[in-house]
């Protein structure tokens, strides 16, 4: 399902629609006629897609740890091993 952006054409809209808002809709859903908060008319805005190519979007283990997060990798059924950050070395799910 794609995200659609909407914006109010009038200055009388609320803060939600004056600056624009995003809605997750099905492709066959009707375009929203008005703001869900203030009922002012809105129009759908065409925006460029967000494209991620290659592996640039994947975080390195060193940056994950610096940001204060913990990363685990699945090593078996219900078993996860820590690869970065603080926390227990292994997490096992209860059977």
Task: Give pLDDT tens digits along the chain (95 positions).
Answer: 688 899 998 778 888 888 889 998 888 889 999 999 999 999 998 777 777 666 665 677 777 888 888 888 889 888 999 988 888 888 887 75
What pLDDT score was predicted for residue 43? 92
Residue 23 to residue 43: CA distance in whole angstroms: 12
CA nearest neighbour of 34 among 45, 25, 43: 43
Asked whether residue 95 is domain-assigned, the answer is: no
Asked whether residue 25 is domain-assigned, the answer is: yes
CA nearest neighbour of 93 among 82, 72, 79: 79
In the chain, how many domains are there?
2
Enclosing domain of residue 66: 61-86
Whole-model pTM above 0.95?
no
What pLDDT score was predicted for residue 56? 63
């Amino acid at each position: 399902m794609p995200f659609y952006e909407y914006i109010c054409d009038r200055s009388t809209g609320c803060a939600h629609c004056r600056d624009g808002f995003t809605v997750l809709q099905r492709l066959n859903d009707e375009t929203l006629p008005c703001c869900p908060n203030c009922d002012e008319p809105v129009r759908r805005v065409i925006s460029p897609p967000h494209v991620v190519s290659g592996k640039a979007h994947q975080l390195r283990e060193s940056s994950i740890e610096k940001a204060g997060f913990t990363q685990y990798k699945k090593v078996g059924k219900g078993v996860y091993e820590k690869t970065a950050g603080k926390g227990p070395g292994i997490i096992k799910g209860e059977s």
